[in-house]
Structure 1
C-alpha cells in the first residue's frame, strides 16, 4: 500500500479548487437534465441551470481570489517606503522640531 502524505502539496490546493469548479460545471449540466426527466418544465430547468451557473461563476471568482491571497501571504512584498511621512536619506530625521544641530550658537 502506498503511503498517503499527511499535508497536501501547495499546488494540490489549486488543483482541488479546479476539481471543485469542474464538478460544479458538471452539475450545472446534470441537474437540469434530471429535472427534465422528472417532469419539470423546460423553463424551470433552464432557470435552474442559469442559477447554478451564476453560483458556480461566483464561487470560481472567490476561489481564485483566495488562491491569489494565499500566494501573496506566502511571498510577502517589500515594505512600503513611499509617501509623505516616510523620508529616507541623508537629511531624514524624526521627532519634528528636535533637530539637534539646527539652533544658532552664540
Structure 2
C-alpha cells in the first residue's frame, strides 16, 4: 500500500455544509416574519424583513458556492500526479552515480 493513498474522505465527500447553511437561512426567512407578525409588527414590516433576509441569504449562497468551487479547484491543482513505486523521490534525488566536481581523488 505504499505510494497511493485512499481515504474515506477522498472517495466519499463530506456533508454539504453550504446546503445546510442555506436551508437554515431559508427556514429563518420564513420563521422570522411569522414571529414578527405574532408579536404585532405590521405586515409591511414583516414583509420587508422577509425580503431583506431573502436577499442576504441569496448573496451568501452565491458566495458559499463560489468559495466551494475555488477550494475544489485549488485542491485539484495541489495534488501531484501519481508516479508509481519507482518514482517516489522527487527530481534530483538520485543515489549513487557520478557527481559533478568535489569527488576527485586526493594523492
Any idea what SS the aligned residue of 2:77 has? coil
d(CA) in 2 for partners of 1:23 and 1:75? Answer: 30
d(CA) in 2 for partners of 1:26 and 1:65? Answer: 22
TM-score, reference length from structure 2: 0.60
Instruction: Kindly tell me the number of residue pairs found equivalent between the two proteins.
Output: 69
Name the residue aligned to 1:16: 17
Q: Which runs of 5+ in 1 are unaligned?
A: 1-8, 78-106
Q: Does 2:50 correspond to 1:49?
A: yes
Moved over 3 A (4+): none
d(CA) in 1 for partners of 2:36 and 2:14? Answer: 34
List aligned pairs for 1:30-45, cutoff 5 A. Answer: 30-45=31-46
Name the residue aligned to 2:95: none
TM-score, reference length from structure 1: 0.60
d(CA) in 2 for partners of 1:16 and 1:63? Answer: 9
Q: Which runs of 5+ in 2 are unaligned?
A: 1-8, 79-107
Higher relative contact order (CA 8 A, sep 6+): 2
Post-superposition offset of 1:17? 1.0
- CA offsets 1:65-89 (integer angstroms, 9 cap, x no match): 0000000001129xxxxxxxxxxxx
d(CA) in 2 for partners of 1:69 and 1:42? Answer: 41
